[in-house]
A and B are shown apart, each in its own frame.
Chain A
Amino acid sequence: MKNSWMTVLMSLAVVAAAQAEHASIDLRVMRVDPQTGKERDEVSASVLQDPPGEIGGQRPEFKAKAGEPLVLQFIFKNTYPHGEKKDCRVRYFVVREAKPKQKTVPDLRDGVVTQGCFTLNFKPQCRVGARQAFTISEPGSYLLRLQSENTDSDHEHFAAIDILVEK
Chain B
Amino acid sequence: MIRISGLALVHLALVAFSNPARAEHFTIDLEVKGPKVNHTARAETAGLGVKPKPRFVLEVQAGDQVTVKWTLTSTASKDTFKDVLVHFYAVKIAKPGDPPPPKLDKDVLLETALTMDFKPKDKSQGELTLKPEKPGVYLLRLETIGAAAGGEDHEHFATLDLVAR
Task: Write the residues of chain A forming the contact surface with B, with a CB cutoff of 8 angstroms.
Answer: 2-3, 6, 9-10, 37, 84, 90, 112, 114-121, 123, 126-135
Contacts and interface: CB of A to CB of B under 8 A. Distances in A.
Nearest to B88: A130
B115 A130 contact: no
Given A10-B85, A114-B130, A132-B110, A3 B104 contact: yes
A6 B113 contact: yes
B98 interface: no
Contact of A2 (B105, B115, B125, B128): B105
B129 A116 contact: yes
Interface string B108-150: 1111111111000010111111110100000000000000000
Interface size class of B (residues with CB under 8 A): 20 to 34
Contact of B108 (A90, A123, A131): A131
Nearest to A86: B122
A65 to B, nearest CB: 15
Nearest to B114: A128
Main secondary structure of the interface of B (DSSP, over half): strand
Contacts of A117: 126-128
Given A120-B116, A126-B114, A129-B114, A114 B126 contact: no
B122 A115 contact: no
Contact of A128 (B111, B113, B127, B133): B113
A120 B124 contact: yes
A37 B106 contact: yes
Given A130-B111, A131-B110, A133-B109, A116 B117 contact: no
